[in-house]
Amino acid sequence: MARQEINIGAAPTGVGGDTPRSASIKINAMTQELFARQAQLGTAATQNVVTASDDFTPGRVAMMGHAGWGAEPIPKQPTDDANELPRVSGLFQFGNGGVNLPNPFVQILQVANSGGYVWQTAKAMLDESIFTRGRRGDGLWSPWRAEINTSVFALGFGQGVTPGELIGLSSAQTASPNKANTGLYSYYNHPDGVPGFGAISVLSQAWGHDPQWRAQLSMAVSGDGIHFRQFSVNPGATAPNWRSILHNGNAISGVFDAGPSGVLPINSGLIERGGTLDNWYFRFAGGLQICQQRFTGYTAGVARNVGWLAGFADTPVAVFHSVYPSVNWDTTARSYGNAGSYFFLSDQTLNNIVTMTAIGRWHA
């Protein structure tokens, strides 16, 4: 009810004011309402109010924003320990590191109950990682367990239907690969995509030790194009240009079907190598193969037949460009090769070092 004013009348005798009876009726009505309200409030009616959001003095009455509820989380310092938070339910923020954290920058939701259990859920501030742990009574904390972290992928479902559209998880979003978290995404004609490639799939990884860092691999949906970059997503940081690591000049797909003229440059893409320092071979995606083999010593009139470390598709150009003499130069040495091996012959018996080199094609 509204407050009832007691008319005290005119000075000095109070003439014209409420009679003692009418004044007492008003007093009784108002005090009756006050005591009824106090009964509804219980002990809170006689308690002090908290003085700050981190005031956990027993018996004090909480207000909006206390313990981080309905306002900013309680800020913690880099020297503060997540193991030693007050055993209360509240929301805490480690914005610049701390002790016993699963991530340097987290907000921790802590729930404490009367049974002595304390549970903590930590949400990373720079990515989507979520961690949980708990303890009972004065026991040890369980290890932080990742519920969602940088190894949980957001799988793309397909190409966007409008320019700049991102498909991630289960719904379409308009976003930039410059801010993509860990996941596999599809972009179509996005301004932050790879220049010259309209439709791309981007595999993005947030580094677990410091989630501001991203490593991204872009794969062209049509055409030969794989690009890479790494950068920071912190405010003010700029994503670098994409670097090409595979294109139609070094692609290895389809090389077995290439004709004699080749759909690829003959020296494109080193795809295989083998051997040792003295005997080795290189194979290139376009069909070029180079072999080099070396031996020491030979006998007059005895042909030496040695198989190439890797066979050729047809007869290569084979030469012995070096016969290093142990005693004298050998002017009678000669050789020839075929697709599988080479032959060396001399009219002298010497302990010379012979190096054979062959250049040809490993596929037509």
Average pLDDT of the residues in 84-94: 90
239 and 293 fall within a common domain: no
Average pLDDT of the residues in 259-287: 70
278 and 355 fall within a common domain: yes
76 and 106 fall within a common domain: yes
Residue 177 φ/ψ, nearest 5 degrees: -60, -15
Query: What distance in Å separates the CA atoms of residue 51 and residue 44, rounded to the nearest whole number?
Result: 15
On whether residue 51 sits in a domain, the answer given is: no
Nearest to 298 by CA among 317, 278, 324: 324
Instruction: Summarize the chain as % helix, strand, coil (round to 5).
Output: 10, 40, 50
pLDDT greater than 80 at residue 12: yes
pLDDT greater than 50 at residue 331: yes
Name the percent of the chain lying above pLDDT 90: 14
Q: Which domain holds residue 138?
A: 66-148
Query: What distance in Å separates the CA atoms of residue 74 and residue 348, rounded to the nearest whole number?
Result: 92
Q: Which residue has the higher pLDDT, 117 or 64?
A: 117
On whether residue 331 sits in a domain, the answer given is: yes
308 and 338 fall within a common domain: yes
| 189 contacts: CB under 8 Å, gap ≥ 6 | 163, 164, 198, 199
338 and 279 fall within a common domain: yes
227 and 291 fall within a common domain: no
On whether residue 254 sits in a domain, the answer given is: no
Q: What is the pLDDT of residues 35-49, one digit of tens each?
A: 887 777 666 566 677
On whether residue 253 sits in a domain, the answer given is: no
The pTM for the full model equals 0.35
15 and 70 fall within a common domain: no
Amino acid (1-letter code) at residue 105: F
Pairing of strands 74-76, 90-94: parallel
Q: What is the DSSP letter of 41?
A: H
Structure tokens at 45: 């009616």
213 and 295 fall within a common domain: no
pLDDT greater than 50 at residue 19: yes
Contact yes or no for 347/305 (Cβ under 8 A): no
- 196-210, 231-245, 284-298: which has the minimum mean pLDDT? 196-210
136 and 170 fall within a common domain: no
Average pLDDT of the residues in 136-143: 82
Domains in the chain, number = 4
Element (H, E) at 34: helix 20-41
Q: Mean pLDDT over all residues of the chain?
A: 78
Strand order in the sheet with 213-220: 171-174, 165-168, 183-188, 199-206, 213-220, 225-232, 243-247
Contact yes or no for 231/213 (Cβ under 8 A): yes
On whether residue 93 sits in a domain, the answer given is: yes
On whether residue 256 sits in a domain, the answer given is: no
Residue that is written with structure tokens 């007492």 in the block? 24
357 and 280 fall within a common domain: yes
Structure tokens at 73: 């989380």
The reported pLDDT for the residue numbered 254 is 41
On whether residue 349 sits in a domain, the answer given is: yes
Nearest to 131 by CA among 105, 154, 157, 112: 105
pLDDT greater than 80 at residue 269: no
In this structure, what CATH number is given to the domain that contains residue 313? Answer: 2.60.40.3940
Query: What distance in Å separates the CA atoms of residue 163 and residue 188, rounded to the nearest whole number?
Result: 6
- 39-48, 109-118, 342-351, 353-362: which has the minimum mean pLDDT? 39-48
On whether residue 92 sits in a domain, the answer given is: yes
Nearest to 340 by CA among 290, 363, 317, 306: 306
Q: What is the pLDDT of residues 144-177, one digit of tens each?
A: 887 765 444 444 333 333 444 444 433 334 567 7
